[in-house]
Structure 1
Amino acid sequence: MRTMKLFASCLVMGALALSAVAQPEKPASDRPSQPPAGDRPPGDAPRPRMGMPALSPEKAKAAWEAQAKGVAAGLGLDETKTNAVVKAYTDSRVSHNQATEKLRKERRDAGGGGGGGPDAMADMRKKAEEMLKGEREKLEKALAASLSAEQVTKAMEPLGTFNPQWDVLTDTVSGFGLDSTKAADASKALQEYVVAMGKGRNSEDRDAARAAMQEARKSMLETMKGLLTEEQNKKFTAAVNGGRGRGDGPGPGGGGEDPAPRRRPGSGGG
Structure 2
Amino acid sequence: MNKFLFFLLFLAVTLGYLFDLDQVIARNFNPFNGIKQFYVETIVSVQTKTERYFNQTTQIESLQKENEELKNYKLQYLNSKNKLDNLLDTLDAPNSTTEQIKFTRVLSYVNFDNFTKVWLDLEKKDNSILGVISQEFAAGIVVNQDGKAKALLNGNEKCNYSIFIGENKAPGIIHATKDRQNLVAKYIPIWFDIKEGDEVITSGMDNIFFEGLKVGKVISIKKKQDIQEAIITPYAKVLKQKSFFVYKKIQNKKIKVKNLVIKDTKKEEDSKKKPTK
Interval containing the TM-score (normalised by the shorter chain): under 0.3
Instruction: Specify the structure having the higher radius of gyration (Cα).
Output: 2
Q: TM-score, normalised by structure 2?
A: 0.22
Q: TM-score, normalised by structure 1?
A: 0.23
Larger helix percent: 1
Q: Bigger relative contact order, structure 1 or 2, given CA contacts below 8 A and separation 6+?
A: 1
